[in-house]
Structure 1
Amino acid sequence: MTTPTSTRQTALGLFGVLVVLATSADTLPAVAPGTRPAAPVLTSVPADPTSSVTNTATWTHPRPGTRFRCSTDDRGWFPCTSPLTWALDPTRAGRHRLSVLAVGPSGRESTAVTYSFSYRDALRASGLRFTVTGGVGDLTPGVWRQVPVRVTNPGPVAVRVTALELHLPADSTPPGCKAATNLEVRQPRLAGPDALVVPARSTVTLPAPGVATAAIRLRDLATVNQDACKSKSFALTWSGTARQ
C-alpha cells in the first residue's frame, strides 16, 4: 500500500532562504468540526479619506472555496465575494466601516476583519460647483424673450440650486448700446429650495416644472434712438448658489 504524496513548488530566495510559492490543495490542513476558520486578509481598501461615494475592497483567504459575509457601515451582514464594490452614504456622520468574515464548511464564522475610513466631500470642501449656459437673440422692442438655460452638475452627488441670477455687461460689443438704458432683465424664479435638483453628472434644461427661466427684452423707448443697438451683442454671465 502506497501513501499518497502531494506536490510542492518552491523557489530559492535572494539570500538563500527557502520560500514556498504554492502548495497543492491536499496539503492544506483539515479544519476540525466546530473550529473557527481563519479570518480573511484585506489586500486593497478605499483611501482614507476618500472622496468617492463608490468604493471597492478586495481580500484573500488561505482556503479556496471559502464563503464570505460582509457588512458596510455596521449594517446587516450579507453574502459577498472579492472584489466587493459598494456605495457609501455620504450623509453619514463619523467614519465608515467595512467588515468581512469567512464562513467555514460547517457554517462556523471567523472573526471579522474590519477597516474604517472617512469620507471627504470634495465638492463640499471646495464649494458646490455647477455651470449655467444660455443665450437668446433677435430681440424686439417691448417683447420679452425667454433665455433657454442649461444647468450642468459635473460632480458625483446631486445638487439643489437655491438661486440663479443673470447679469449683463454695462455696454454692448461693439460698444454703443448701453444695457442699463436699453435692456430689461427678468430674473429666474425658483418655486422652492428643492425646485431645481440637478443629478450627479447631469444637465437640466430650463424652463422646467417649478422653475421659470430668465427673460430679456429690448425696451420700447419712444424718445431714444435705438438704432445703435442693431447687430450688437451682450456677454451674459450667471451666478447662483446650491446645496446638497
Structure 2
Amino acid sequence: MTMEIVTVPCRTDNYAFLLHEGGRTALVDAPEAAPVLDALSERGWSLDEVWITHHHPDHVEGLPDLRKAHPGLSVTGGREDAHRLPRLDREVGDGDAFQFEGHEVRVIDVSGHTIGHIAFHVPDADAAFTADSLMALGCGRVFEGTPEMMWQSLSKLAALPDQTVIYSGHEYTLNNGRFALTVEPGNDALKKRVAAVEAARAEGRFTVPSTLAEEKATNPFLRASLQEVKEAISMPHADDAAAFAEIRSRKDAF
C-alpha cells in the first residue's frame, strides 16, 4: 500500500491534508470547504472521513459545507475536546488507534496550544499530522495549557522515528526561521534551511511538510534540552521545560 497525501492550502495560511488509499479519502482538519472540494474534484475522489486535531475555528469551519457535499462522511476528533468540536462520529484519545484502509492511525495527545489537541500518527506511511503543536521550525502558541505541558507534547513527537514527515497546520515557516536564527545564529543547518525557505516562499512554494530529522536539527523548540541551546539563551543550568518556556516567551514577543 502506498498512501497518497495531498497538501491543500486554505484560508490565509492554513493547511489541510487529504489522505487517499484504496478508493477512500480522509481529510485532516477543515479550515474551509472550497479548496478541499476543489482538490477532491480534480482527482475524482469523494470524501469519506475527517479527522479534527483541535477546536479552533480555522481548523473546523469548513466542516458544515463538507458534510453537505459529502453527507456520508464520518468525523473523528478528540474525546477531551468533544464538548466544543462539531458533532463527532468517533471520539478518540491519547494512545487510541483506528484503521484507515489497512493503515493504523495512532492518536497522540499534544495539549498545550489547546487542551485536548491531538495529533494523528500513521506509522507505515511515516506521517504525523501535528496541526498547531509541532510546526515547521516552530510550535503553536501556548494558549490553554502550560509551557511544561507543551514541552511534554513536543517530546512525545520528538520520540517518533526521524524519517517521520511532519504535516503541520500553517505556513509560518519563514517567520519561525527568522526567529530561530536569533536563538542559534551559528547553526549551519538552520542557516541553510532558512535560505531554502526564503527561496521557496519567493517562488510561492509550500514549506510544509518537513521531516522530523529536519526539525530536530533546526527547530529551537525541539532543541531546548540541548546544552548549547541553553547556553545560547543564558540559561545553562535550566531544566528542559524552563528552557523551552523561555524560547516560547521570546517567540511570543518576536
TM range, smaller chain: under 0.3
TM-score, with structure 2 as normaliser: 0.22
Query: Which of structures 1 and 2 has the larger relative contact order (alpha carbons within 8 angstroms, sep 6+)?
Result: 1
Structure with greater helix percent: 2
More strand by share: 1
